[in-house]
Amino acid sequence: MKDCSQCVVRNSAICAALMPDELEVLGRLGRKQRVSKGQTLVWEGDDSIIVANVISGILKVSMSISDGREQIVGVVFPADFIGRPFGRKSPYSVTALSDAELCIFSRSSFDAFARNHPALEHKLLQRTLEELDRAREWMLLLGKKTATERIATLLLEMSIRLGETGCSVEQNELNEFALPLDRQQMGDVLGLTIETVSRQLSRLKADGVIGLPDRRMVSIQDRRRLQDLSAAA
């Protein structure tokens, strides 16, 4: 790592917990790496070798059954942390959904560093707690929501998380954005098939709730209505 102080996610990644001198030490443990769309960094069931901060790009966290069924259990944005620290095996895969830049650490050296830097572990704990909240919210979706509710929830979630991406903390819900997922991946996040995803989107478009300028773009025309359809708590 050349110079963490110039890093675009310097203030929002967990590294924000560190003082400049500590950051420099951590920086020497890491290396910046580009990964291209579709590349898998971590394989489900393999030894947990690496962890990383996401500098740019979007990745998916997924688990699967031996017959090929796959569930996406997390979507990772810039400034987020990936990998399974403090554990021998990774129970899930991590794959780039777009070209991405990462700041990679060997798990063992990261673990050792973190144990000696409580402020960093504290940030990591906070993030893990937030990730757990999100996972549980999604369990409610997967266990109890209808197809329409699932799609509406996903679109709202994307409009929020894509809006807070980057280095600033400003929160602006986007009303037009490019989905980082194709239809199949949307299905794999929502526990639905590609056909059901497509039909539900077509219906929301026909009802004037959203617009679909092209395959990846979504515009939210009536956010209030989308919120009602999402069956938020």
Query: By the criterion CB under 8 A, which residues form the site for a copy of itself?
Result: 44-45, 61, 63-67, 69-71, 73-74, 84-87, 91-92, 115, 118, 121-122, 124-126, 128-129, 131-133, 135-140, 142-145, 188, 190-191, 231-233
- What are 84's two structure tokens? 């399974």
User: From a copy of itself, DNA, none, which one binds at residue 201 (CB under 5 to 8 Å depending on kind)?
Assistant: DNA
The three-state secondary structure class of 145 is: coil
The three-state secondary structure class of 122 is: helix
Question: What order do you get walking across the sheet with 100-106 strand by strand?
Answer: 31-35, 100-106, 50-56, 81-82
Q: How far is CA 103 from CA 26, 27, 35, 79, 100, in A?
A: 11, 9, 11, 10, 10
User: From a copy of itself, DNA, none, which one binds at residue 136 (CB under 5 to 8 Å depending on kind)?
Assistant: a copy of itself
User: From a copy of itself, DNA, none, which one binds at residue 147 (CB under 5 to 8 Å depending on kind)?
Assistant: DNA
Question: Which one, 26 or 179, has the nearer CB to DNA?
Answer: 179
- The Cα 124–Cα 81 span in angstroms is 8
User: From DNA, a copy of itself, none, which one binds at residue 110 (CB under 5 to 8 Å depending on kind)?
Assistant: none
Question: Which one, 81 or 177, has the nearer CB to a copy of itself?
Answer: 81
User: From a copy of itself, DNA, none, which one binds at residue 160 (CB under 5 to 8 Å depending on kind)?
Assistant: none
Residue 97 Cβ, how far from DNA at the closest point, in Å? 12
Question: Which one, 106 or 221, has the nearer CB to a copy of itself?
Answer: 106
- The Cα 192–Cα 194 span in angstroms is 7
Instruction: Tokens 């504290």: give the residue.
Output: 122
Helix (H) or strand (E) holding 197: helix 194-206
Residue 83 Cβ, how far from a copy of itself at the closest point, in Å? 11
Residue 159 Cβ, how far from DNA at the closest point, in Å? 18
Question: Which one, 52 or 151, has the nearer CB to DNA?
Answer: 151
- The Cα 167–Cα 53 span in angstroms is 13
- The Cα 44–Cα 60 span in angstroms is 12
User: From a copy of itself, DNA, none, which one binds at residue 122 (CB under 5 to 8 Å depending on kind)?
Assistant: a copy of itself
Question: Which one, 178 or 231, has the nearer CB to a copy of itself?
Answer: 231
CA angle 61, 65, 71 (to 5 degrees): 35
- The Cα 14–Cα 81 span in angstroms is 8
Instruction: Tokens 């203030």: give the residue.
Output: 11
Question: Which one, 198 or 221, has the nearer CB to DNA?
Answer: 198
Give the binding site for DNA (CB under 7 A). Answer: 146-148, 182-184, 191-199, 201-202, 212, 214-216
